Chains A and B, each alone.
Chain A
Amino acid sequence: MKRNIAIASALAALAAVVAFSMPAAAQDAALNQARAQGLIGEQADGYLGFVPGASISADLRGRVEQNNIQRRALYTRRAAERGVSVNEMAAAVACEVFERRIAVGERYRTETGQWRQRTAAEPAQMPSFCG
């Protein structure tokens, strides 16, 4: 009995370690599900955002914030290499994301701050700064 508890707690500890060191690729299932459910969406500033009125769990909130931190790190590094501002690098990525990474049914936040839903009939409304 004691041994079982020891094994169980060891497994729990291992699970916690795995969860915290989870690579970005392993996180996408939860985020993609939240995207499809309309809880979160891509924003014209190059980051993920929470759809107003959506009920966001603490877990999801953490995942989104973690994702945005990782994005910001990527943008910052590349912006420094190219001699542009972080916001400009983020905006350039947003243009690509709006062009091909927003699936039908997903919500997204436009340049002017409005949330819209991508429909099959039309592509996502592109920010004005995109080429």
Chain B
Amino acid sequence: MRTQLLTGLGAAIAVAGCIPVQIQAPDEPIEINLNVNIRQEVIVRLERDAEELLENNEGLFGPGGQ
């Protein structure tokens, strides 16, 4: 009985919680940042690896220079 009451109460709260939410479409177009998952501290940690990949695979990357 008590369990039923609690379940009912929970459902009521859940339903009540859902009703007032209104989703408005933003006026501005959403800007998608492709680099959102790039963590700077990870990039810093990978610096040595990146240098090594460039040195060991010269044919894959440009020579650079002036």
Chain A positions near chain B (C-beta within 8 angstroms): 23-28, 31-32, 35, 42, 44-45, 67, 70-71, 74-75, 78, 82, 84-85, 87-89, 91-93, 95-97, 100-104, 106, 111, 120, 127-131
Q: Does B24 contact A (CB under 8 A)?
A: no
Q: Are B62 and A131 in contact (CB under 8 A)?
A: no
Chain B positions near chain A (C-beta within 8 angstroms): 34-35, 37-40, 42-47, 49-51, 53-54, 57-66
Please list 22 pairs of residues, one from A and one from B, whose beta carbons are closer than 8 Å in the complex, sorted by A's number: A23-B59, A24-B59, A24-B60, A26-B59, A27-B59, A31-B62, A32-B62, A74-B53, A82-B45, A82-B46, A85-B37, A92-B43, A95-B43, A95-B50, A96-B50, A100-B64, A101-B54, A103-B66, A106-B62, A120-B66, A129-B35, A130-B43
Q: Which of B35, B62, B66 has the most CB of A within 10 A?
A: B62
